[in-house]
Amino acid sequence: MRGGGLWQLGQSLNRRLAQADKKVVGRRFFSSEENLKKTVLYDFHTVNGGKMVPFAGWSMPIQYKDSIMESTVNCRENGSLFDVSHMCGLSLKGKDCVSFLEKLVIADVAALAPGTGTLTVFTNEKGGAIDDSVITKVNEDYIYLVVNAGCRDKDLAHIESHMKSFTSKGGDVSWHIHDERSLLALQGPLAAPVLQHLTKDDLSMLYFGEFRILDINGATCFLTRTGYTGEDGFEISVPSENAVDLAKAILEKSEGKIRLTGLGARDSLRLEAGLCLYGNDMEQHVTPVEAGLTWAIGKRRRAEGGFLGAEKILKQLAEGPPVRRVGFISSGPPARSHSKVQDDKGNSIGEITSGGFSPCLKKNIAMGYVKSGTHKTGTKVKIEIRGKAYDGTITKMPFVPTKYYKPT
């Protein structure tokens, strides 16, 4: 039953976030309820029916009164409001902040126009991904970026360590961690028209990947036209004392069409959009080239290197990576993380990293890694689920077309 498949997705995520995998709990989550941090919207979530679960040390809503299927479809048809305040926003400032950051990420930060940003990857000495991040060059001596909640501690330690070395040699860079702010993600076709009611700035002039500091609902906000669903939308960094009022105002202005949405639908939305979840689809041993993020490596960076792990990454660009991230459509039960992938002769060629039932496409979708040479679109494979092999086909991503707001 298809609804059952989606229920399984929600239950699987719920169990994984809570207790099922002790190794994951120990590494990424706090298992004790008393230790969990709460966003300023915690009470707002519970009053509105949010089902709270542990995630990356925080108590976060996995869903509200709607099912995960209903929430996913509503985001694409109308809109969703997510509390993503568990993620970590920070600013780098100083005349050398661009050159400093370029030592740590693969992006051509210097080439970004002021007020624009990009997805990038923090790499380690072996070329593996420490984390993915959306970075924005506010101006030549001011960068704003957001890192994942589950990677916060290691990311901040990594940045701080390199910053100490950089400044000890005379580099001019300092940082501020925005723990005084909350982060809301407003996604879907109604995101822009609804948010326009709450600001005097013309949002039609703000395109995908662009950033502004502006007044929204009476509060000074950092607004980035981006998101994690494939839909048009925004991430709004708002002073924490104004976060609940802003959330209420957005929901009110939408007249009930934009709904509070939790982690369950966020996971199915990003999977439909073909976007990586760090810890599943990207890890410290996976390079950006293997992860299909070659486009994020700036042209100048390909020529010059100068970032951690550049030797391995540039070699993979020249010679090709040993494995590649691909999408799958499959029959039978939805494929899950670590499901084995075989070729038509039964040889193991890779494994699934994320999978589930697509509420919008009404079919099983997944992503994972296969050996180079077996990655071509249309290749028939077998996916092993609970000891039984099911038919699958390698397909292009995103599964659902993206609707980013770009100049025509």
Query: Token pair for residue 342?
Result: 């075989």
Query: Token pair for residue 83?
Result: 């509390």
Query: Token pair for residue 13?
Result: 């995520």
DSSP letters of 263-299? HHHHHHHHHHTT---BTTTB-TT--TTTTT-GGGS-H
pLDDT given for residue 33 in this prediction: 66
Binding residue numbers for substrate? 235
Q: Which amino acid is at 68?
A: I
Strand ordering across the sheet containing 88-93: 116-123, 129-139, 142-147, 88-93, 174-177
Binding residue numbers? 235
| Cα 169 from chain centroid (whole Å) | 34
Report yes or no: 371 and 349 within 8 Å, Cβ to Cβ. yes
Q: Give SS3 for 375.
A: coil
Report yes or no: 179 and 146 within 8 Å, Cβ to Cβ. no
Angle, CA 76 vertex, CA 145 and CA 363 arms, to 5°: 110
d(CA 315, CA 134): 25
Q: How far is CA 256 from CA 74, 217, 245, in A?
A: 11, 18, 16
Backbone torsions φ then ψ of 211, nearest 5 degrees: -135, 140
Alpha helical stretches, state H, 130-204: 152-168, 191-196
d(CA 364, CA 54): 26
Exposed/middle/buried for 37, CB within 10 Å: 0-12, 13-18, 19+?
Answer: middle
Report yes or no: 54 and 29 within 8 Å, Cβ to Cβ. yes
For the chain, give the number of residues.
408
Backbone torsions φ then ψ of 136, nearest 5 degrees: -130, 130
pLDDT given for residue 242 in this prediction: 98
pLDDT given for residue 32 in this prediction: 56
Per-residue pLDDT of the chain (408 residues; tens, 9 = 90+): 333 333 344 545 444 443 433 333 333 444 456 689 999 999 999 999 999 999 999 999 999 999 999 999 999 999 999 999 999 999 999 999 999 999 999 999 999 999 999 999 999 999 999 999 999 999 999 999 999 999 999 999 999 999 999 999 999 999 999 999 999 999 999 999 999 999 999 999 999 999 999 999 999 999 999 999 999 999 999 999 999 999 999 999 999 999 999 999 999 999 999 999 999 999 999 999 999 999 999 999 999 999 999 999 999 999 999 999 999 999 999 999 999 999 999 999 999 999 999 999 999 999 999 999 999 999 999 999 999 999 999 999 999 999 999 998
Q: Is 176 left (phi over 0), alpha (psi -120 to 50) or beta?
A: beta
User: Taking the CB of residue 165, how many other CB atoms lie within 10 A of it?
Assistant: 12
Exposed/middle/buried for 380, CB within 10 Å: 0-12, 13-18, 19+?
Answer: exposed
